[in-house]
Amino acid sequence: MKKVSKTKWIIILCISIAVIIGAVIFLFRYLNQKDVNGDTLPTVATRDEVAPTQQPEATEEPGYVGATEAWGYTPAVYDFHEPSFDELVEINPDIYAWIYIPNTNVDYPVARSTSDGDDSFYLEHNVYRQYQFSGTIYSEIKNSPDMHDRVTVMYGHNMLNGTMFASLHNFANEDFFNNNNTIFVLTKDKVFTYLVYSAYTYDDRHILNTNSFSNDAEFREYLDETLDPHAVDANVRKGIDLSLDNKILTLSTCTSGPSDTRYLVQGVLIDESARKKQ
């Protein structure tokens, strides 16, 4: 009996060691998998780690002067590359926009899943529709790609290496918030300029599902909430007076705190211009 029992323990031990070795190999390969460009995929910031701030490289291409001042604030000058939407659509017809925020790492195509019932497809898929943990900046089917909804919501991961929407957290810094106020969204034919007027930590409720923005009273309530968010880290520009005619861009990402919190950056549309010809 002792010999049989000892043999069983040896078998169990060997199996356990094999499982552990396999798990370690899988974890190593997962954390070091490559994307389509051969770069190691980034990992998401944990609750105890804050994604570092990184600055994008400056471009030398000529800029386009967009909106004039709004509520006494002067937006940044549109000065970055001109993505070709013909080329982007060849890569993936779900790509409908490009978002750029000066002095952050946000400079990405925006996708919108056209698959029924799969709004979150780009949460873990890149623009080539391949699995990638960092995903793609995306909006949902509830939002029109023409950017004319009362509230458009775009989502992106809070990546540990500062990519995707991680640098939205720059707006939590009061000095950064005061000195950076512009979001640009490009579509095939238009440049949309948004004035960043509010940034704060929120809960994880689904904004488009829990609000009926076609209802004036609910939209007004949402506008008032963005102007006076009950959050200790809120930054809000003074003198912004929003009306039912305004169009809001809400950017949402995770935080390094509780899993049921999100960090939101709110922008109001202040200019819609035709893109310069390429």
CATH number, domain containing residue 218: 2.40.260.10
Domain span holding position 238: 85-274
pLDDT (mean) for 182-202: 96
Query: Of 9-23, 227-241, 261-275, which range is least confident?
Result: 9-23
- How many CB atoms sit inside 10 A of residue 213's CB? 16
Whether residue 7 is found in the same domain as residue 129: no
**In 132-263, alpha helices (H):** 174-179, 207-210, 216-227
Output the pLDDT for position 73.
95
Per-residue pLDDT tens digits for 37-47: 333 333 333 22
Classify residue 69: in a domain, yes or no: no
- Decide the pairing of beta strands 248-254 and 151-155: parallel
Whether residue 24 is found in the same domain as residue 103: no
Whether residue 2 is found in the same domain as residue 132: no
Classify residue 42: in a domain, yes or no: no
pLDDT (mean) for 111-127: 86
Whether residue 11 is found in the same domain as residue 107: no
Whether residue 120 is found in the same domain as residue 194: yes
Highest mean predicted confidence (pLDDT) among 57-71, 73-87, 108-122, 158-172: 158-172
Whether residue 159 is found in the same domain as residue 248: yes
Query: Of 14-18, 132-136, 177-181, 183-187, which range is least confident?
Result: 14-18
Please determine, for residue 248, whether its predicted confidence score (pLDDT) is greater than 90: yes
Which residues have CB under 8 Å from 49's CB, separation 6+? Answer: 160, 256
Output the pLDDT for position 82.
83
**How many structural domains compose the chain?**
2
Classify residue 80: in a domain, yes or no: no
pLDDT (mean) for 211-238: 96
pTM for the whole thing?
0.78
- How many CB atoms sit inside 10 A of residue 68's CB? 10
CA angle 48/183/261 to nearest 5° reads 30
Higher pLDDT: 213 or 83? It is 213
- Dihedral class, residue 103 (left if φ above 0, else alpha if ψ from -120 to 50, else beta): left
Please determine, for residue 35, whether its predicted confidence score (pLDDT) is greater than 80: no
At residue 189 the predicted structure's pLDDT band, cuts being 50, 70 and 90, is very high
At residue 59 the predicted structure's pLDDT band, cuts being 50, 70 and 90, is very low
Output the pLDDT for position 17.
74
Which residues have CB under 8 Å from 137's CB, separation 6+? Answer: 99, 106, 108, 109, 110, 111, 122, 154, 155, 156, 164, 165
Mean pLDDT score across all residues of the chain: 82
For 131, how many CA atoms within 13 A lie in the half-sphere containing its CB? 2
Whether residue 89 is found in the same domain as residue 25: no
Whether residue 182 is found in the same domain as residue 258: yes
Whether residue 112 is found in the same domain as residue 243: yes
Please determine, for residue 64, whether its predicted confidence score (pLDDT) is greater than 90: no
Whether residue 153 is found in the same domain as residue 270: yes
- Rounded alpha-carbon distances, angstroms, from residue 130 to 117, 134, 164: 18, 11, 16
Whether residue 91 is found in the same domain as residue 18: no
Classify residue 254: in a domain, yes or no: yes
Output the pLDDT for position 261.
94
Classify residue 232: in a domain, yes or no: yes
Classify residue 75: in a domain, yes or no: no
Whether residue 18 is found in the same domain as residue 131: no
CA neighbor of 77 nearest in space, from 102, 97, 59: 102
Classify residue 89: in a domain, yes or no: yes
Distance from C-alpha of 159 to C-alpha of 137, rounded to nearest angstrom:
12
Classify residue 164: in a domain, yes or no: yes
Question: SS3 string of 92-145?
Answer: CCCEEEEEECCCCCCEEEEEECCCCCCCCHHHCECCCCCECCCCCEEECCCCCC
Whole-number percent of the chain with pLDDT over 70: 77
